[in-house]
Structure 1
Amino acid sequence: MSYLGPAGVIAKKNEYFVPCINHFYKNPPQFVKGEMQYLFDSEGKKYLDFYAGVSVMNCGHSNPAIINPVIDQIQDLQHVCNIYLTENGVNLAEKLAEVTPGDLKRTFFVNSGTEANEGALLMAQLYTEAHEFIALDLGLHGRTQLTMSLTGIGMWRTTDTPNGGIHFARNPYFYRDGQGQTQEAFEDECVADVARLIRRRTSGKIAAMIVEPIQGNAGIVTPTPHYFKKLKALLEAHNILLIVDEVQTGFGRTGKMFAIENFGIVPDIMTVAKALGNGFPIGAYITTDKIAAAFTRPSASTLGGNPVSTMAGLSVLTYLEEAKLLENANARGEQLQNGLRELATRHSLIGDVRGLGLMVGAELVTDRKTLAPAADQVDVILEKMKDRGILVGKNGENRNVLAMQPPLVITEEDVAFFLQNLDEVLTEVES
């Protein structure tokens, strides 16, 4: 098969795409094939994917266990809209009720994480009859007007007229903001900041607070252990719902089915997308019987919960269990973090290593005292790793965090290969 090649794709992209859409790398490859933890470009070069399409391909690229049932479903029934009766959607909703924490039970299916968050925010307003929201600094929740207004990263807030009634609280970024403090004291300060917002900045009629259990685009910002328990207690005291955005962190990514389970609390509403479809578009919010009962006026989603995407979701949940991917995420995540911390003893660029399971970030700095971001070095490292056949992500407010979110099917050998090459690339960059 002949391909356009990178230059041809870029030429058409520049001609026909809205110009806001950019790409990684100075010399980007064109990907044409995927096989579990590997991608292949138009010239046949093989890459170890350590980003999984931004935490999407948890079960691996073109995994037969996912795509074969989907192909069968497409051949039988592709679409009728959820105003008609089909089986996959209700079966997936039943399965989600089984795997989500606590008494989360009722699902509304949509097509993306943005839609899931938008729907969850509406659900909170309907239940509480309140309309203000609290979000965290450096959070990212979507591309619609409301979810973008709740996003706390300036580069992703492309509207200069955000929605009102939204308040931002300090995020639990211990590495940058908790220097010289104990974790307990830092947690208390962050929760106190939310209390200050409630008291001083709002009407007191707050529908919900929305949070990511680990802030992906912020730079894999991982809360200290007891932050969420303290936060949930405060919100409950003020009758404020907690919406947990598991769009990046869900479905085994952190070694638990959902990242919030690592922190010992149950949200009032949870949103999911990305890995639930393993490449097929699907999103959902899940809530309790009590909260869901407030949404009775007619609604639907033309493609939400369609037979094809929900078959993908059912196949994902089956494969996660049968292939023991949560266990692998824990084992390989421990190997990866231990390896990165060992590299940090020899490479001063690595300022911090954080995360859970296979959602790991390494923040690069040019000075460990001032924490000056090493954004330029991150770009060079990404390019050099790509040239060696390894794909790594980057994120953070300053774009100085290496993001490692590989498919959960990676092996011990894959992690060792990654660490060896990163060691060599860091040596090249530091010299």
Structure 2
Amino acid sequence: MDPRASLLIRPAGEFAPDVIARASGSWLETVDGRRVLDFTSGQICATIGHNHPRIAEAIRRSLDDVSHLNSRLLSEPVLALAERLADLMPAGLDRSLFLSTGGEVNEAAVRMAKLATGGFEVVGLTHSWHGMTSGSQAVTFSAGRRGHGPTAPGIFALPAPYAYRCPVRHCAGTCDQTCLEVGFELYDQQSVGAPAAVIAEPVLSAGGVLVPPPGYFSRLIELAHERGMLFILDEAQTGFGRLGAMFGMDVYDIVPDFVTLSKTLGGGIPVGAVGTTAEIEQAAYDRGFMYLTSHQADPLPAAAALAVLDVVAEEDLVRRAAARGERLGRHLRELCERHEVIGDVRGMGLLWGVELVADRDTRRPALEFGDAVTDACHGCGLSLNITRGRSGGATACLRIAPPLTVTDDEIDTAAEILDQALTSTPAPS
């Protein structure tokens, strides 16, 4: 029997056909020796490539020193990481809470916002992904909402800035933020007067790599603050160079009330952080904030995170991501010109989406074709991820996010494999 069949829960769809034996940089190697380019960076966590020697060194050192402590006890790596993040963040965002996953840090940020404001209403964007813990799943609208019963009370959705499929049937390819204004008007009509927070990603990755237009976040923060809501920016997938800038907030020139970090912080090791201001921290603390986990502020993941920050700085990965991203984007736009099945290409830095359609005029999603292309790519040595918009409107978008250490040759190879897969896969009917 295939040992994979004994696993209790499978991710969306079926497991990939190969079993991975080892990984290094942008490459995976299967148990039978086949090499596969990983253009998903694992779960978009292997920011600096798989098994970077600096991560391995940090883990070994932590195992020799201290890897786990009671959450009331502090260690040198945790203190150093808090100081490093405070130096990287905009002025004022100098308080950090360290947890394990993106779902946990978003959950903690939402709880802090509720305490600091005294409200309980939280607004997210459709097509968003913020995690699968109870509170984070409640404001995740791209998938996973159905069949589990009611979510937390006081949850509202704003139409995402999805210009290719305008949610208010208004824009034609360029978002003019009507969706944002309409969304807050709808919230106002439904609110019971207990505003707490708005949460959003700089680029809505799992929802199809949706890139908000210039000025979108400035206006969102303005509308949130007018209502007494705090703004949480979920940088789980965009922090530390992914977009060709250190953070997504740098791209949009904004300063949120909370920044949540996870995936890209640990380089493959689970670690997350909530960053906020001293004022918000104090208000939440005075009102009884509590969020404890068994691995809060553990030394080992903090040491790994410090290694990631060192490599990002020393190897100039932010600048490299911007340059490699331009190369990748050029390849994808060229593929769009040659393949009618590509309806839209969007992204920045090293996070790109390729939306597949059965017909460019009707923009009908090419769902089965997208699955077939993904399988064909994997068979030819390229691992891609397809987002399908499983909650509220189907889409078929290839999400492309290689490690920031990816080379020009690897990008060129990936583009060739994708071109081959698009060409050889039977066109959607």
| TM-score, normalised relative to structure 2 | 0.93
Sort the Cα spacing of 1:313 and 1:401 in 2 relative to 1 into closer, same or farther, 3 A: same
Large movers: runs of 4+ above 3 Å: 19-25, 154-158, 178-184, 297-301
**Other structure's SS at 1:225 match:** coil
Alignment correspondent of 1:114: 103
In 2: Cα distance, 1:177 partner to 1:208 partner: 24
Give the secondary structure class of the aligned counterpart of 2:48: coil
Deviation at 1:280, TM superposition (A): 1.1
Q: Is the 8 A contact 1:54 1:405 kept in 2?
A: no
Shift of 1:194: 3.0
The 10-residue stretch of structure 1 (226-235 or 294-303) with the greater mean CA deviation from structure 2: 294-303
- Specify whether residues 162 and 320 from structure 1 end up closer, same or farther in structure 2 by C-alpha distance, changes over 3 A only: same
Does structure 2 conserve the Cα–Cα contact (< 8 Å) formed by 1:81 and 1:301? no
- 5 Å-filtered alignment, 1:199-348, equals 199-296=188-285, 297=288, 299=290, 300-348=292-340
Pairing 1:394–2:386 present: yes
Counterpart contact for 1:149–1:157, Cα < 8 Å = no
- 2:404 match: 408
Counterpart residue type for residue 400 of structure 1: A
Residue 171 (structure 2) pairs with residue 181 (structure 1)? yes
- Give the fraction of aligned pairs with identical amino acids, expressed as a percent: 33
Contact 1:148 1:157 in 2 (8 A): no
Change (3 A) 1:227 1:396: farther
- Give 1:155 deviation, angstroms: 4.0
Closer, same or farther: CA 413–101 of 1 in aligned 2, 3 Å: same
Q: Deviations over 1:84-130 (max 9, x none)?
A: 13111111011111112342110111111111010000110111111
Residue 429 of structure 1 and its aligned partner are, at CA, apart by 1.7
- 1:55-70 maps to which residues of 2 (within 5 A)? 55-70=44-59
Return the alpha-carbon distance in structure 2 between the equivalents of residues 168 and 403 of structure 1: 23
Instruction: Tell me if structure 1 keeps the 8 A contact 2:355–2:395.
Output: no
Change in 2 beyond 3 A, CA 1:428/1:183: closer
- Within a 5 Å distance, the mapping from 1:192-203 to structure 2 comes to 192-203=181-192
Matches of 2:3 and 2:208 in 1, distance apart?
A: 29
After TM superposition, the structure 1 stretch with the greater mean CA deviation from structure 2, 345-354 or 97-106, is: 97-106
- The code of the aligned residue for 1:12 comes to S
CA distance in 1, matches of 2:347, 2:299: 34
Corresponding residue for residue 349 of structure 1: 341
Cα drift, residue 42 of structure 1: 0.7
* More divergent stretch after superposition (285-294 vs 295-304): 295-304
1:12 has 2:6 as partner? yes
Task: Measure the CA separation in 2 of the matches of 1:336 and 1:45.
Answer: 24
- Name the amino acid aligned to 2:423: T
Please identify, of 139-148 and 53-62, the stretch whose mean Cα deviation from structure 2 is larger. Answer: 139-148
SS of residue matched to 1:161: coil
Compute the displacement of 1:191 (Å). 2.0
Amino acid corresponding to residue 324 of structure 1 in structure 2: D
Match of residue 166 from structure 1: 155
Q: Does 1:75 align with 2:64?
A: yes
Q: Which letter does structure 1 place at the counterpart of 2:384?
A: V
Count the aligned residue pairs.
Answer: 419
Please state whether the residue corresponding to 1:336 is helix, strand or coil. Answer: helix
Is 2:38 aligned against 1:42? no
Corresponding residue SS for 1:295: helix
